[in-house]
Chain A
Amino acid sequence: MNTQFKRGIVELCVLSELVSEDAYGYKIINNISEHLDVNENTIYPILRRLTKEEYFVTYIVESEQGAPRKYYKMTEKGFNYYIELRESWDQFIGGVYEILNRGGKKNEQVFERFRK
């Protein structure tokens, strides 16, 4: 998939992961890569960039198992950005499905032309 396109989508997913609760880096990566074929290479740089842009802040939590973990917390600026991105995504993907589904026609009807 086009990398730029993929990056935008993963960015939205990273934001979405942090809307409801704070999380540490590996958890975010794990949650996203369960559903999408992306790995740390894509997710970590986005996490870092969004933190620099003040959409997230970080804090350290001592862990019972092993080293302290860096948690990411969404800021209000981040939340506003998420809402904005989410709206344009919904609009976009809604439009895409409108096109793909030809206004509600079933795939069988759409593919009729190529049936031999």
Chain B
Amino acid sequence: MNKFLKDLENELFKLKVSPKEIKEILEDHKEMIEVAKTEGLSDEELSKKFGDPIKVAKELYSDIKTEPKMSFESTSTESCVSYKTNEYNLVKAFSEIDGAITFEANLVSDDLQYATYDGNEIQVYEQNIMNLDDYEIAFTDNTLVLKRKKELKIFRNKEVSGEFLILIPSTITHERVEFNDVSGDANFNGVVTEKLILKLTNGDIELTNIEAGDSKFSFVNGDVEILNLRGNTIDVSVINGDLEINEGIFAGDLFFNTVSGDIELTNVECVSADLRTISGDLVGTEFYPKEVSLSSVSGDIEINNQDKAREIHVNRKKSISGTIKIN
């Protein structure tokens, strides 16, 4: 019956059930199988009684998925109310949406707000954008593109930065969201995407209520604030900025690399975590990876958890002059 448990675990992983729940479900099954054995059931009777682990995983998942995901639904609709679209100018709207979309944005100094709302078309707004001809804004082949077209002149007049606001119907999911910006700030709210790729040099970024399969972030100087991110894997590289994650559930691995920025993780769960820092500090509170690798040159790493019963397996722990503590 060990195969049953292993298959069940794998299937639940695949279905992106949270590690905490997987642990509980497996414990329940271990117990039930053991009881069945003490009552003298043969292997054949056992497998008849317990059936197919894939079926049980699917059944469990269909229950889990119909639950409100950490108030995901309600907050995402609230968020659109707070955008005062009358302060912006509507640039374009697209309504022929066919399934999951891709969003690609390349900006230089403009800010971006990207959020879901209750409508059924994609709306692109602007505020203080000097010349819209400098931008490519299009929606073709289910891909939304927002691009700063012109090569930047080296001796330019003072660069004035504006802001884009993009509203996406809340029923729409994304295959990929890819955003590059040099000095603008960005704010994503209520987005569901298979892939989330963010590259920022100086801007700050805020992510709220995001569901992203695999995320890859690279930031140089900006600060990053994440509230409620659910996904599979996340790979973050930070040079100077600080990163904060509050409420994060990952069905897969988490990889953080920081040079001098500080990282703060609160209420985060994942399968394995690999945290590396040169001189930045790293603090985890209620941070539960199944297994963790920690390395630091001079930064300190500290993990403070209440639930002592949840074991964290330490694969590697290495520091030159920093301290590493798991409390």
A interface residues with partner B (beta carbon < 8 Å): 24-27, 29-30, 33, 39-42, 44-45, 48-49, 52, 65-70
Q: For the A-B complex with A40-B32, A44-B32, A70-B31 known, give 9 more contacts whose Cβ atoms are closer than 8 Å.
A: A30-B49, A39-B51, A41-B50, A41-B51, A41-B55, A41-B56, A44-B60, A45-B56, A67-B31
CA distance A25 to B34 in the complex (A): 11
B59: contacting residue among A25, A26, A45, A65, CB under 8 A: A45
Across the interface, do B52 and A41 meet the contact criterion of CB distance under 8 Å?
yes
B39 cross-chain contacts in A, Cβ below 8 A: 26, 30
B266 → A minimal CB distance (Å): 24
Across the interface, do B49 and A48 meet the contact criterion of CB distance under 8 Å?
no
B30 cross-chain contacts in A, Cβ below 8 A: 67
CA distance A65 to B39 in the complex (A): 10
Across the interface, do A40 and B28 meet the contact criterion of CB distance under 8 Å?
no
B38 cross-chain contacts in A, Cβ below 8 A: 65-66
* In the complex, residue of chain A having the shortest beta-carbon distance to the beta carbon of B60: A45
Across the interface, do B32 and A52 meet the contact criterion of CB distance under 8 Å?
no
* In the complex, residue of chain B having the shortest beta-carbon distance to the beta carbon of A44: B56
List 30 A–B pairs whose Cβ atoms lie within 8 Å, in order of A's numbering.
A24-B31, A24-B35, A25-B31, A25-B32, A26-B39, A27-B35, A29-B49, A30-B36, A30-B49, A33-B49, A39-B49, A39-B50, A40-B32, A40-B50, A40-B51, A41-B50, A41-B51, A41-B52, A41-B56, A44-B29, A44-B56, A44-B60, A45-B59, A45-B63, A48-B28, A48-B63, A49-B63, A66-B35, A67-B30, A67-B34
B136 → A minimal CB distance (Å): 48
A47 → B minimal CB distance (Å): 8
Interface size of B by CB at 8 A reads: 22
Minimum-distance CB pairs A-B, first 9: A41-B51, A26-B35, A45-B59, A39-B51, A26-B32, A41-B55, A40-B50, A41-B56, A49-B63
Q: Is B84 part of the contact surface with A, judged by Cβ < 8 Å?
A: no
B67 cross-chain contacts in A, Cβ below 8 A: 52
Q: Knowing A45-B56, A66-B34 touch, does A40 contact B25 (C-beta < 8 A)?
A: no
B56: contacting residue among A27, A40, A67, CB under 8 A: A40
CA distance A26 to B59 in the complex (A): 18
Contact with A along B43-62 (1 / 0, CB 8 A): 00000111110011001100
CA distance A17 to B34 in the complex (A): 21
B9 → A minimal CB distance (Å): 15
A44: contacting residue among B28, B34, B48, B52, CB under 8 A: B28
CA distance A63 to B35 in the complex (A): 10
User: Which residues, 75 to 103 on B, are CB-close (under 8 Å) to A?
Assistant: none
Across the interface, do B59 and A70 meet the contact criterion of CB distance under 8 Å?
no
Across the interface, do B60 and A69 meet the contact criterion of CB distance under 8 Å?
no
Most buried by B among A24, A41, A44, A66: A41
CA distance A44 to B61 in the complex (A): 12
B34 → A minimal CB distance (Å): 5
A48: contacting residue among B25, B36, B50, CB under 8 A: B25
Q: Knowing A45-B56, A45-B59 touch, does A40 contact B49 (C-beta < 8 A)?
A: yes
